[in-house]
Structure 1
Amino acid sequence: MKFGKEYASQTVPEWREAYMNYNYLKTLVKDILVFRQRLNGSPKNQVTRKPLPLKRKVSLFRAFSGLTNSSPGKHKEDEVIVVNKMQQTDEENAVECPSYQTIFLRPSEEGGDIELVFFRRLDDELNKVVRFYKTKVEEVVEQAGELDKQMDALIAFRIKVNNRMEAIRESEVSEDHQEMRSEDDNEYRAASLEVLNRIKINATTETPRSTVRNVFNSLNSDLNYNKTELKKARGKLKHAFLELYEKLRFLKNYAFWNQLAFSKIMKKYDKITSRNASDAYLQMVEESYLSQSDEVAKLIERVESAFIKHFCNGDRDRGMNTLRAKSKREKHRVTFFVGCFFGCSLALIVAIITSLHARDLLKGAGQTRYMNTIFPLYSLFGFLVLHMVMYAGNVYFWTRYRVNYSFIFGFKQGKELGFKQILLLSSGLSVIILGGVLSNLEMELDPETQSYKTVTELLPLGLVTLVLLVAVCPFNILYRANRFFFLVCLWHCICAPLYMVTLPDFFLADQLTSQVQLLRNVGFYACYYGWGDFKKRDAVTCNESNIYYIISIVIAVVPYWIRVLQCLRRFFEGSDSTQAMNGLKYLSTIVAVVSRAVYTQTRGTPLRVIAASTSGIATVFSTYWDIVMDWGLLCKNSENPWLRDNLILPNRSVYFIAMVVNVILRLAWMQTVLDFHEAPFLHRNALIAIVASLEIIRRGLWNFFRLENEHLNNVGKFRAVKTVPLPFSYEDRDKDV
């Protein structure tokens, strides 16, 4: 692999703009090469080329510099550059940072202007890298100092919680407590119980209980000395240590790869120009804060020591395995089984189609019966598999274009599913479902199984039960961490607005708004097997029941109502003032859904006008929000007209195509539910399933651009690690604790 590709693969996606722009500098070096090739190929230029008297220039520049160390055997006439170091203040970050300037001594030579541009841009990149690195190092030093105080409070808290004998034992242990202080601070002050008089527990409204307490009472921030609070505080601090350690690792790699990039680009320059400028410049890089600072290395050692001691009972192996999560290994058997399952799925689809046509199973009264009962039962799985396939495609393209979806969603490091794992689950599920459909058809036709009519009709319910059991299975199989992550997010959606709303929560709720037909099919399951006569394949009770009709409307409204509650929670927390408008968007959709449902039941021109107008308003509102707010597009004064300044996809036309497709699919959904569709060659339920599938596809497209926009926002703020709430806060931070 060439260095440029390896360098790009090793960058932290959120810090991409802060890395040395190796590709651009490489193009400048290539420009120098092209000019020299043209120059050497022109006899006229070769004749008129004259050496320049540089003695005076060199002496002047060296007198001005005073900081350049040249090789002992190198003559002034042979020098190409002179490097200078000046002190500047970064006003944005209020950081004192040196600024490096390179003076090119051969600007009057032919092609010297190109080399001059190269060194100017090289200096800009070095100053940018050093400034960013110094800012981030000061941030982690500050965070380490805060964690130091938090650990003092935690140890004191633990002493208070335990009984007297345990307190004595913990006090003896705490005498060996080595916090993340500088090496000059050899005097350690043991955690004192007096610290507890100056701290309070940070109350966070993250749970239903704390939310209710916050609404009806004031949250009690007084210290409550019990093991439950101690466990919570310990968990928060452990998480904070893990995030700090990850940031330190990022900084260590950042310094290493940038130094290597400067070395590579200077060697390319020397090779092309036959000069010897790399020694002087790389010496400047070596003497810069990027190379000389040892704060990160020291903090890594101290964090490791503190984490192993206080969170792993001194077990270094366990501590290091926790801190340094192992990267995922690509397993060939996953690819193999994905191919097998997809092949089996295609074979089963062919077998089902052949069986239907060869035996004329869907003709006459049997077709209507089958499409009104069995088809909705099995189409539920089709919607689920399609959504999983779309999500696998999202993960593939997120990975390809380095969108850090794992960090954005908050997956546990190394536990996120790749697109192959998602395809494995979806293809395996499709094999089971298609096998169930074929088995249902065969059992229905086999005379020997006619007496087991109940078993035949219960097969779809058995498949649903199997999927639910796998989803909640407590054993460490079939990606347990991801299954539980999904269930937790689903529970947060159900309990909205009692839980603090995070991105995975509202992202999942948005997926549910595109799975209304799936949720309706779940309701049909309950009705068909609860009220209907499933033994006779009779769903008249469900299809003609007013109660079921009302329930189906409620089911369709629930996902949008969840989003309304989530928007209200975020708005009242003050995290995003635009959430009030977002909530109105979902309310408009609820009105449209209800008006359409009433129209399809009662008909009439006035109701049709109301349904059309409300649906049109909701569609326009939602389309605008998708493109402008969620995708961040349609920026008139952008560097990329009508898009946004930063784009991940290299082809800008893809964004315009996505916007048009989004509008078309939304309009198709609106027209279908308004009965602007008559397809005599298709059953109504089949057409509804097709339109529902189009909505799932639209959501899949939305997912990619929504997360791309979120990723770019993180990049703009250089957020590469999560911000972890700390358990304690000091009432007087100005005093030394």
Structure 2
Amino acid sequence: MVTQDLEGGDRQRAMKRLRVPPLGEQQSPWTTFKVGLFSGSFIVLLIAVVLSGIFHRSRDDWRIVFRLYRGPLLIIEFLFLMGINVYGWRSSGVNHVLIFELDPRNHLSEQHIMELAAIFGVVWALSVLSFLYSASLSIPPYVNPLALITIMAVFILNPTKTFRHEARFWALKVLGRIILAPLFYVNFADFWLADQLNSLVVVFVDFQYFICFYLTNDNWMAADDINVCVDYTQIIRPLVGCLPAWWRFAQCLRRYRDTKEAFPHLVNAGKYATSFLVMLFSTMNVIYTDAYRVTTENPYFYLWVMASILSSCYAYTWDIKMDWGLFDKKAGDNKYLREEVVYSSTGYYYFAIVEDFILRFGWALNLSLTTMGYVHSDIMISILSPLEVF
């Protein structure tokens, strides 16, 4: 989109315009200190969480705990990785300030983003520890996840001109345009963030579970029925899970309306449409599970698998050829890559090709291990979802 809008589709000219000398932005020593302090504190607390989880008395409600705490942790991971992205862009001379239409005089550096992620990480770890040791602290355990989400929400939605007000409301404004797609013209920041949200589907589904749990469970000391918010929301959950794909689908339709170009916009919309098929057949497979003696007798199971293969192949091909422009015949010395590369080491690109393939088909590993009963589905989701964000 940037190439098309800036230089009429000329990738080489667009790359020259967007690339600048490595940006040696001056970092505040105080911010650097805080990043180190909070990051170190988070690592120590995370180790304490892992050890406490291993040696603490086992809980029957561990699946609920996973679902309540997994979403916030994925958001924290996303923020930290975004900070690394900004550092990589700046170091490689990618003019992200121009691309995202940021204020050149007032925007967040990678250290500010990492600092926020580290602070949220410390709060998250303290909340989990408070949950695990709630009996000793005389605190109702399920107050802790609610307090964590409240703290994060208050920070993000705080209307006062404090705590990086401009950056927070820039992000909220972009998020608002995404949610209201296809009503608004699609900027680069809009579809970039919407693409990232497609890696955070678990966050949306867990947040739906979070709301359901606190609306239906009035006992904050215990939660005996772990399936109440799964069984009662079999239709709502897949609809929530489809939201990120719908937003990108709607954005593609809006781009087609504005440009009248079927390629790439309608073809890209088709990629997200396959996600709807996956979610539809997955839901039908679950609904009709009890109607068949074994999974392999359920026709929706095979439709789900075929839709998943189609979606993964479609998305992987688009990632490699369209989003990254790899396997270019004019790549020259950059074999299997493209003529213009941003990062100095081509190893990053080869790693991305393999890593993206593995993650695009990670659902097959999840399906195999959970169907055969080797690993619980919540554990597999908790393992694969951070990799998807990565």
TM range (shorter): 0.7 to 0.9
Matches within 5 A, 1:388-537: 388-446=79-137, 449=138, 453=140, 456-535=141-220, 536-537=222-223
State the Cα distance separating 1:541 from its structure 2 match.
5.7
State the Cα distance separating 1:675 from its structure 2 match.
4.5
Please list the CA deviations of residues 386-421 of structure 1 after superposition, one character each: whole Å capped at 9, or x if unmatched: 111211111111111001111101111122222111
Please list the CA deviations of residues 500-519 of structure 1 after superposition, one character each: whole Å capped at 9, or x if unmatched: 11111111111111111110
The CA distance in 1 between the partners of 2:235 and 2:158, in whole Å, is 33
**Which one-letter code corresponds to 1:393 in the other structure?**
I
Matches within 5 A, 1:222-237: none
Please list the CA deviations of residues 345-378 of structure 1 after superposition, one character each: whole Å capped at 9, or x if unmatched: 12212322333344x422xxx2x31x22122111
Matches within 5 A, 1:131-142: none
Q: SS at the partner of 1:403?
A: coil
Report the equivalent of 2:245: 560
Alignment RMSD (CA, Å): 2.5
**Which one-letter code corresponds to 2:77 in the other structure?**
L
Compared with structure 1, are the counterparts of its residues 679 and 379 closer, same or farther at alpha carbon in structure 2 (3 Å cutoff)? farther
Q: Does the 8 A contact of 1:373 with 1:538 survive in 2?
A: no
Q: Does the 8 A contact of 2:369 with 2:375 survive in 1?
A: no
Which residue of 48, 52, 57 maps to 1:355?
52
Q: SS at the partner of 1:642?
A: coil
Report the equivalent of 1:650: 344
Please list the CA deviations of residues 469-500 of structure 1 after superposition, one character each: whole Å capped at 9, or x if unmatched: 11111222221111001100110011111111
**Structure 2: stretches of 5+ with no match in the other structure:** 1-13, 290-294
Compared with structure 1, are the counterparts of its residues 473 and 576 closer, same or farther at alpha carbon in structure 2 (3 Å cutoff)? farther
Matches within 5 A, 1:679-694: 683-694=376-387
**Structure 1: stretches of 5+ with no match in the other structure:** 1-11, 20-326, 698-737
**Which one-letter code corresponds to 1:394 in the other structure?**
N
State the Cα distance separating 1:544 from its structure 2 match.
4.9
Q: Does the 8 A contact of 1:345 with 1:434 survive in 2?
A: yes
Number of corresponding residues: 365
Q: Does the 8 A contact of 2:370 with 2:377 survive in 1?
A: no
**Which one-letter code corresponds to 2:309 in the other structure?**
G
State the Cα distance separating 1:333 from its structure 2 match.
0.8
Percent identity over paired residues: 26
Q: SS at the partner of 1:598?
A: helix
Report the equivalent of 1:132: none
Please list the CA deviations of residues 605-658 of structure 1 after superposition, one character each: whole Å capped at 9, or x if unmatched: 322211111110110000011110111111123323432111122333432221
**Which one-letter code corresponds to 2:160 in the other structure?**
F
**Which one-letter code corresponds to 1:504 in the other structure?**
A
Compared with structure 1, are the counterparts of its residues 567 and 657 closer, same or farther at alpha carbon in structure 2 (3 Å cutoff)? same
Report the equivalent of 1:294: none
The CA distance in 2 between the partners of 1:351 and 1:623, in whole Å, is 38
Compared with structure 1, are the counterparts of its residues 339 and 18 closer, same or farther at alpha carbon in structure 2 (3 Å cutoff)? closer
Q: SS at the partner of 2:355?
A: helix
The CA distance in 1 between the partners of 2:114 and 2:286, in whole Å, is 37
The CA distance in 1 between the partners of 2:29 and 2:273, in whole Å, is 47
The CA distance in 1 between the partners of 2:301 and 2:189, in whole Å, is 37
The CA distance in 2 between the partners of 1:575 and 1:655, in whole Å, is 32
State the Cα distance separating 1:13 from its structure 2 match.
7.9
Compared with structure 1, are the counterparts of its residues 524 and 667 closer, same or farther at alpha carbon in structure 2 (3 Å cutoff)? same
Q: Does the 8 A contact of 1:528 with 1:534 survive in 2?
A: no
The CA distance in 2 between the partners of 1:18 and 1:463, in whole Å, is 40
Report the equivalent of 2:37: 340
The CA distance in 2 between the partners of 1:597 and 1:406, in whole Å, is 41
The CA distance in 2 between the partners of 1:553 and 1:385, in whole Å, is 24
Report the equivalent of 2:5: none
State the Cα distance separating 1:682 from its structure 2 match.
5.3
The CA distance in 2 between the partners of 1:584 and 1:347, in whole Å, is 45
Q: Does the 8 A contact of 1:532 with 1:541 survive in 2?
A: no
TM-score by length of structure 1 reads 0.47
Q: Does the 8 A contact of 1:532 with 1:542 survive in 2?
A: no
- Is the counterpart of residue 381 in structure 1 residue 53 in structure 2? no
Which residue of 669, 675, 679 maps to 2:363?
669
**Which one-letter code corresponds to 1:623 in the other structure?**
Y
**Which one-letter code corresponds to 2:32 in the other structure?**
T
**Which one-letter code corresponds to 2:205 in the other structure?**
R
